[in-house]
Amino acid sequence: MYSLFTVLLAAVPLSTLAGAHRASVRSRHRHISRTQVSTNKTYLLEDFYQADDFFDQWSFFTGSDPTGGNVAYQDKENAMSKGLAYVDDCDNSTVLAVDSTSTVPAGGNRDSVRITSNKNYSSGLFILDAAAMPVGCGTWPSFWTVGPNWPMAGEIDIVEGVNNQATNQMTLHSGTNVACTIDTALNSAPETFTGHVLGTNCYSTPTADAGCGVSDTDTRSFGYGFNNAQGGVFALLWDQSTGMSMWNFPRADIPADITAKAPSPAAWGTPAGFWSSQTCDISTNFYEHVMVIDTTICGNWAAGAYASSGCPGTCSSMVANATNFADARWVINYIAVYQ
């Protein structure tokens, strides 16, 4: 993906323009043994974000959208008073929504929400259980992690896509010239991940900030397909010794150990995406990450891919269509972090 970023952490954006600007990769391939994606390690719950305590542990970003989106990010007080951020008392889910009632001119900015965890992490098992994610032409939802002084400490895009995109896109962005690549030779039989590689060089500078992306092959991993499956779980295993692994489990396929808060990644099968520590120096390129959840509108990626997504008119004009954003909301059951 391609993205435009500022240096300040508060303004760190998402990745954009899937598949664009895929610069030639200068990866140095080595003859190496296969790394196991996960181990039999026991994971203990460190943080659990849910219900009334959820918003006490996150900060609301209120600056202009760094990705050029047509949104006005709201602070906590305004987001709650406008019904854009709240806890549903019926099921304790946390809702983060785009405004779907106000009159906004074409090309104007529609109210939305972007939140950042107060705590940072340098490894762990991250699990997002969501009943629904934002959908609709012009939307660009994402769940990601990012370190200080972007891109030096890296970025991990766990959930991301735009418009009517059918499958989830997972991407790593590294900010140093210390090696970080996807070696596709590692994915020969037996495969170490099931997704489709979009780019192999994670280093942001020579790839026009594209990073090394993997597209999920399951249509239940994003957008309408995800929502029609009653949502599901996204999991990131950030292991300094083995690498980065990501899974998506539709609601009906969530492993029992996740539900029991005793996750065992070794039993989950092949991940959708895997970035081996043998070709990516994890500890040097990724550290002190906060989690981010947001939904922007249009922006560099969603607007750029708008026509090819089969959306009507222009992205700028869609901003004015309030009803288009009726389902542009995250419904989050919980976020859990294990160590």
Question: What are the tens digits of pLDDT across the range 77-101?
Answer: 999 999 999 999 999 999 999 999 9
Is 292 a domain residue?
Answer: yes
Q: Region 189-217: what's the mean pLDDT?
A: 91
Q: Region 261-275: what's the mean pLDDT?
A: 98
CATH of the domain at 251: 2.60.120.200
Is 13 a domain residue?
Answer: no
Question: What are the tens digits of pLDDT across the range 40-68?
Answer: 799 999 999 999 899 999 999 999 999 99
Give the burial class of 76: count Cβ atoms within 10 A of its Cβ; 0-12 exposed, 13-18 middle, 19 or more buried.
Answer: middle
Nearest alpha carbon to residue 99 among 87, 85, 84, 109: 84
Is 284 a domain residue?
Answer: yes
- Exactly one of 46, 77, 160, 288 is catalytic; which is it? 160
pLDDT at 1: 38
Is 6 a domain residue?
Answer: no
Could you tell me the CA-to-CA distances from 104 to 108, 148, 338 in Å, in that order?
6, 34, 42
For 120, residues 6+ apart whose C-beta sits below 8 A from its C-beta are 147, 288, 289, 290
- The alpha-helical segments, DSSP class H, found in 27-120 are 76-81
Is 37 a domain residue?
Answer: no
* Domain carrying residue 166: 45-338
pLDDT at 168 over 50: yes
Assess whether 155 carries a catalytic annotation.
yes
How many other CB atoms sit within 10 Å of the CB of residue 283? 12
Question: 2, 301 in Cβ contact below 8 A?
Answer: yes
Question: 223, 298 in Cβ contact below 8 A?
Answer: no
Nearest alpha carbon to residue 231 among 245, 247, 210, 248: 248
Is 39 a domain residue?
Answer: no
Assess whether 191 carries a catalytic annotation.
no
Q: Which two tokens stand for residue 92?
A: 């304790």
Average pLDDT, the chain: 90
The model's confidence at residue 33, banded by pLDDT at 50, 70 and 90, is very low
Q: Give me the number of domains the chain comprises.
A: 1
Q: Which two tokens stand for residue 267?
A: 């039993």
Q: Region 233-245: what's the mean pLDDT?
A: 98
- Rounded to two decimals, the pTM is 0.89
Question: 294, 159 in Cβ contact below 8 A?
Answer: no
Q: Region 167-172: what's the mean pLDDT?
A: 99
- Exactly one of 77, 155, 191, 288 is catalytic; which is it? 155
Is 1 a domain residue?
Answer: no
The model's confidence at residue 189, banded by pLDDT at 50, 70 and 90, is low
Tell whether the torsion through CA atoms of 106, 109, 112 and 117 is positive or negative.
positive
Q: Which two tokens stand for residue 244?
A: 């980065």
For 4, residues 6+ apart whose C-beta sits below 8 A from its C-beta are 13, 16, 66, 67, 68, 209, 300
Give the SS3 label for residue 72: strand
